[in-house]
Amino acid sequence: MVTNMAARMELVETGEKRDRVGRKITPRVRREELVRAWRHSGLTQAEFARREGVQYPTFASWVQQARAGSLTRKGAAPKMRFAEVPWPANFGPAALEVRLPDGTMLRGGSVVELAALARALRA
């Protein structure tokens, strides 16, 4: 019976790239297209993934990466950019605000004093 079954099977090569485990690698552009299409589809992520033939956990991770702005290969972090912003001279004394991880808000006019207060609160 195994011989009969093997005679009816065929391998269809589609040219898709695969990782070393054999999983299909979906190009970044295609992942972005699918996430955009899902957003306009009105379907749940699970329904959309099923319709497109994508594993739900894989598709959900693409959506999460797109929300974070990093729909790239696994492990690649988005580039972080910094900019120096000059403080206007005519602005006067600055009112500084610092929000601690627990949600506590500190306000003051001196960086040194705010830093000391934050250290005292952690102690």
Residue pLDDT, tens place only, 47-96 = 999 999 899 999 999 999 888 876 555 555 556 666 776 766 665 555 77
Number of H helices and E strands in the chain, helices first, is: 5, 2
Give Dmax over CA atoms of the chain in angstroms: 88
CA distance 25 to 21: 11
Instruction: Judge whether 118 lies within some domain.
Output: yes
Cα separation of the two ends of the chain = 74
CA-wise closest residue to 113 among 91, 92, 101, 96: 96
**pLDDT bracket for residue 1 (50, 70, 90):** very low
**pLDDT bracket for residue 13 (50, 70, 90):** low
Range of the domain at 98: 94-122
**Tokens encoding 76:** 């690649």
Instruction: Judge whether 62 lies within some domain.
Output: yes
Identify whether the C-beta of residue 72 lies closer than 8 Å to the C-beta of residue 47.
no
Instruction: Judge whether 2 lies within some domain.
Output: no
pLDDT(4) > 80: no
Same domain? For 21 and 61 the reply is: yes
Identify whether the C-beta of residue 50 lies closer than 8 Å to the C-beta of residue 56.
yes
Same domain? For 60 and 26 the reply is: yes
**Tokens encoding 62:** 């693409």
pLDDT(108) > 90: no
Given 3-state DSSP classes, what are the helix, strand and coil percentages for the chain, each rounded to the nearest 5? 45, 10, 45
Instruction: Judge whether 47 lies within some domain.
Output: yes
Nearest-5° angle of CA 59, CA 63, CA 69? 140
pTM equals 0.46
Q: What is the percent of the chain with per-residue pLDDT over 70, rounded to a whole number?
A: 69
Our count of domains for the chain comes to: 2
